[in-house]
Amino acid sequence: MEKIDIKDDEVAIFAVGGLGEIGKNTYGIQYKDEIIVIDAGVKFPEDDLLGVDYVIPDYTYLVENIDKIKGLFITHGHEDHIGAIGFFLQAVNVPVYAPPLALALIKGKLEERKMLRNANLNEINEDSVFNFDNIKVDFFQTTHSIPDTLGIAVHTPAGVVVETGDFKFDLTPVTHQPPNLQRMAKLGSGGVLALMSDSTNAERPEFTKSEAWVQKSVEQIFDRTTKGRIIFATFASNMSRVKMAMEAGVRHGRKIAVYGRSMETAVRNGRELGYLDVPDEYMLEPQDLKKTPADETLIMSTGSQGEPMAALARIAAGTHKQIKLQPGDTVIFSSNPIPGNTASVNKVINELEEGGANVIYGSINNIHTSGHGGQEEQKLMLSLIKPQIFMPVHGEYRMLKIHGKLATDVGVDPDNVFIQENGDVLAISKERGARVAGHFPAEDIYVDGSRIGDISSAVVRERQKLSQDGLVVITATINMETKEILSGPDFLSRGFIYMRESGDLINEGRKVAFNVILKAMNQDGANEASIRDAVVEEMGRYLFNKTARRPIVIPTLIRVK
């Protein structure tokens, strides 16, 4: 690994993951021989990463510097901030500090992987303070779509670095945990060297609406829905939404049944930690659902993104064991389809409506707002914190870029805005400003099932090619001494061409393969490997010319001598 040279009057900031992407947020702040790590997120693979369950960051730099790491500090309990915790602790088992809800979710994850006993877990809140040799860490409360969301300030002799975590400025949060504007302003007036801030909604020129606005709509829907059951679908991770729906249920005399594993976990954690104010007598066991009158029933369900295995899709398709759709049911989708999920969401909505349900969805019904601040809130954060150096984080490249421009609009020197990549180490001093002090490897690591790094990007590319362009196997029996082809070549294809209808291509292809093998056998120093390479290359080119596709070509040579 290249030498990363950080001077004694510099504090270094970097992303192990989270730049150029939404996901695997993992940031580091380093002063001398102390490192504070913030978040251990996962990224969910795009559809074209076949057979990959998770994408996690490359932890090599952290592993090599494990002695310096003082702890992993968690901003909040979303998957893109805690989802890789098991893999992270396998690589670097350091103390974890997390706010209550995130901590409960982390415990659940580690328990599943039988890693709980070896983990050093600690609860924090916005009043926690940590003093290490040179570094002090403290916090400020922010608002988001989940309770217990913290921003983090890291005080070093070289200056203060602030990482916001995910935030919007919700001045009337349903969680009753307002953003601590005073503390942010105090940090700013004390002087902040560098700010790393959430860029998710940098493309939206607005001030994100409060959850209280959604709550009003939800309340109105409950008011006017006097007949039939209400089925409420949202992200289980959106505790604010879960809270307003369940508490509206209680106020309207509806008993609540909860379906979907992540929703059950969320409701259990939420009630245990006191975020959900739902008396026991309002909670329904599955077997009691049938005995409860329809207009006294609220069903909380996962599947607001149309996920085929989630409770809602199975209710819609009529394959759910316990819940059959009834005419007169009102189904509320309180989330926006993530781009790419629109078709599956529409399918579920169609099925529900065909089944006689009244479906309420979309922004026209005012039942969703983002958990992230728009441009106005990003500018507000920049104005409160007033950093000398700005590094936008948590976003794809174009979001980072726009966020960088917003910073200059509110007075940050354009030369002090740094759009970085994962693995870039930015070393900052008050006097000299910032410079890139080096780079460490930070490629995506693919996780297939529970195995880390077993799949390389080469394997994924191979799977992509297989799924798109198929496979061609060319088999021949050869005699290397007499330079003869004794049988074949035979031509077998899977997922590439339908063989019965492509006799010409196969016949011609066999002739081409025959000549390729013969020519390769007669080259000086020919061996099996060189023949195989020639088949892959020449046949690949031939098939591409004929079909404009690039199947994987696998030569199988049987050598008699």
Nearer to Zn ion, 234 or 416 (CB): 234
Strand partners for 451: 448
- Torsion angles phi and psi, residue 403, rounded to 5: -60, -40
The stretch among 74-82, 100-108, 269-277, 408-416 that binds Zn ion (CB under 5 A) is: 74-82
10, 21, 39, 80: which one binds Zn ion (CB under 5 A): 80
Stretch that binds Zn ion, among 45-53, 76-84, 92-100, 129-137 (CB under 5 A): 76-84
The CB-of-326 to Zn ion minimum distance in angstroms stands at 35
Give the 3-state secondary structure of 329-381.
CEEEECCCCCCCCHHHHHHHHHHHHHCCCEEECCHHHCCCCCCCCCHHHHHHH
Which burial class, exposed, middle or buried, applies to 396 when counting CB atoms under 10 A from its CB (0-12, 13-18, 19+)?
Answer: middle
State which of residues 24, 78, 241, 386 lies at the interface with Zn ion (CB under 5 A): 78
Which residue lies nearer to Zn ion by CB, 240 or 416? Answer: 240
Give the other-Cβ count within 10 Å of 213's Cβ. Answer: 14
Q: Comparing C-alpha atoms, which of 115, 93, 147, 64 is closest to residue 441?
A: 64
Q: How far apart are CA 158 and CA 396, in angstroms?
A: 29
Stretch that binds Zn ion, among 75-83, 329-337, 454-462, 480-488 (CB under 5 A): 75-83
**Shortest distance in whole angstroms from residue 299 CB to Zn ion:** 26
DSSP-derived secondary structure letter, 386: -
Query: Toward Zn ion, which CB reaches closer, 78 or 168?
Result: 78
Nearest approach, Cβ of 245 to Zn ion (angstroms)? 19
Shortest Å, Cβ 543 to Zn ion? 44
Name the minimum Å distance from CB 546 to Zn ion: 47
Q: Angle, to 10 degrees, between the axis of helix 239-251 and the axis of helix 261-272?
A: 80
- 166 lies in the site for Zn ion, by CB under 5 A: yes
Give me the least distance between CB of 312 and Zn ion, in Å please.
22
Q: Pick between residue 237 and residue 297 the one whose CB is nearest to Zn ion.
A: 237
Query: For the chain, first and last CA: distance in Å?
Result: 46
Question: Which residue, 78 or 314, is less far from Zn ion as judged by CB?
Answer: 78
3-state class (DSSP) for residue 551: coil
Shortest Cβ 28–Zn ion spacing (Å): 17
How many chain residues bind Zn ion (CB under 5 A)?
3
| Part of the chain binding Zn ion (CB under 5 A), chosen from 11-19, 80-88, 109-117, 167-175 | 80-88
Considering only the stretches 111-119, 162-170, 217-225, 267-275, report the one whose residues sit in contact with Zn ion under the rule CB under 5 A.
Answer: 162-170
Q: How many angstroms separate the CA atoms of 440 and 58, rounded?
A: 9
* CB nearer to Zn ion: pick between 41 and 404: 41
Nearer to Zn ion, 80 or 329 (CB): 80
Interface pattern 342-371 for Zn ion (x via CB under 5 A): ------------------------------
What is the Cα–Cα distance from 333 to 515, expressed in whole angstroms? 62
Kindly tell me the burial class for residue 11, based on how many C-beta atoms sit within 10 Å of its own C-beta (0-12, 13-18, 19 or more): buried
Distance CA 67, CA 300 (A): 45
Shortest distance in whole angstroms from residue 76 CB to Zn ion? 6
Q: Give me the least distance between CB of 520 and Zn ion, in Å please.
A: 53
**Distance of alpha carbon 549 from alpha carbon 540, whole angstroms:** 9
Residues in region 191-230 near Zn ion by CB under 5 A: none
Give yes or no for a cis peptide into 489 (omega within 30° of 0): yes
Nearest to Zn ion of 70, 78 (CB atom): 78
Of 395 and 438, CB closest to Zn ion: 395
Q: Which two tokens stand for residue 545?
A: 């010319």
Sites of contact with Zn ion (CB under 5 A): 78, 80, 166
